Amino acid sequence: SVLEILLVDRKMQRDIFLAGRPVRKGWMSSRYGHRVDPITGRRAMHYGVDFAGKYSADVIAVAAGVVVYAEEKSGYGKMVEINHGGGYSTRYGHHKELVVKVGDIVRKGEVVGLMGSSGRSTGPHVHYEVFKNGRIVDPATYIQRASR
């Protein structure tokens, strides 16, 4: 029926809409922007938002997409990158363990890894970045946006 088609379409739109936090539990420990680097003690740009939490806590996709990177990356430790289409992609760094691989299709809210402290890190957290048309942008806009 037309109603069923519309409901499926609405669900798909909700699933691909970039909104929310990359963790179910945890707290924002560092924002996007200039800050004192916790390792060097010098002022430096922080290109993402960090969410701290319990070691091995779930890290989740903020929108549906295709996993385009899932391995170690300098500084990020174990990192996942998801292409959401429409020019958007997200990165999730410092995992203890990755549970997805390149080519996997993930849904909004699906677990992509377990929180850890791999790479350049001072404790268990996920470093979360948003890219729009290949350029990094402040994730706060998307974290605070209401889900459709």
What's the CATH code of the domain at 136? 2.70.70.10
pLDDT digit string, tens, across residues 14-52 = 777 888 999 999 999 989 988 888 888 889 888 999 999
- pLDDT, block means (10 residues), the chain with 148 residues: 60 77 93 85 91 97 96 97 95 98 96 96 96 96 73
Q: What is the pTM of this model?
A: 0.88
What pLDDT shows up at residue 89? Answer: 97
Look up tokens 């048309």; give the residue. Answer: 133
Alpha carbon 41 to its chain's center: 26
Q: Where are the alpha helices (DSSP H) in 17-147?
A: 140-144
* Domain count for the chain: 1
Print the domain residue range for 16. Answer: 2-144
- Other residues' Cβ atoms within 10 Å of the Cβ of residue 131: 18
CA 118-101-73 angle, to 5 degrees, is 35
